[in-house]
Amino acid sequence: MRVLSFCIESAPCGMPGGPHAAAAVRATCERAAISTLVTFMTTSGRILIVDDDASVREMLVEYFGDHAFEARAADSGAAMRAEIEHDLPDVILLDLRMPGEDGLSLARYLRERYDVGIVMVTASGDMVDRIVGLEVGADDYIAKPFEPRELLARVRSVLRRMQARPRAADTSGQGPDATASPPASAPPPLAAAPSGLAASASAAAAAATRRRVGRCEIDMDARRLFERDGTEVPLTAMEFDLLAVFLANPNRVLSRDQLLTHTRNREWEPFDRSIDIRIGRLRRKIEADAGQPRTIRTVRNAGYMFVPDDG
């Protein structure tokens, strides 16, 4: 509003052209000020850049700021946590190779606690880095050195996927539980998983605390997996989310894009096999014979189906 006030005060009636010229100048200034104010108030999203390289942080904060993002930066895991406590961003850009607490540990921490987009930045295009990053819950990745325009496109893509995902899959509890009705030709929506992926209070109350999955049992409240003898089996947040969706949709074929959308909100791409890697790891934990799976079965050219065994 200071711009508007300055413009109006700077347009005296005694200027050449008289009062009419002054009025025209005022109108022009008002339009310019309002346009500036609208641009200032309208941002593309909030992004937090986590990188130990000061030059990278400064460059990206400036670049995303120039593209209408509210950009902040942190140089470590501790600084990232402080920024998140102050204001949770929409997307976090995480450098994979940082001293101390690295990007993978931070991604795992974020995914277990927040509904936020995560883009991993790797020092190379190494396939192992990419797979591990996706495994712990990253939504996308980019290798250094990168073209800022490509990074911007990837960040915007993550934001679009998060905004377009079914609201029933929102685990943050921060947004309204509303979603448009699907078109008549669309397949029926997935049943809500009792893990909080949209389970109603009645459904959560009706669900047993422990559910059988293959040769194991899962404690839905504690989010822990156990062998029949009580030995705990390590379970990642993504693996728990997959099991929750499967348990809520028994004997139903679920496509890869459905599974990704209802777990970490990533759209499936033709060459994206990350879901297959996760399913393979789950099978090694819950199947009596991972080579001949009977609990999570592959349905050729369609996806996967969870077949409960209550015997």
* Cα→Cα distances 75→72, 90, 100, 137, 240, Å: 11, 18, 11, 21, 31
Distance of CA 58 to the CA centre of its chain: 24
Mean pLDDT: which of 13-17, 32-36, 140-144, 301-305 is highest?
301-305
| Predicted local confidence at residue 142, as pLDDT | 87
Higher confidence at residue 2 or residue 247?
247
pLDDT digits (tens, 9 = 90+) for 55-93: 889 999 999 999 999 999 999 999 999 999 989 999 999
- Write the single-letter amino acid at 16: P
**Is residue 269 exposed (0-12), middle (13-18) or buried (19+ Cβ within 10 Å)?**
exposed
Whether residue 195 is predicted with pLDDT greater than 90 in this model: the reply is no
For the chain, report the end-to-end CA distance as a whole number of angstroms: 71
Higher confidence at residue 194 or residue 158?
158
Considering the entire predicted model, what is its pTM? 0.47
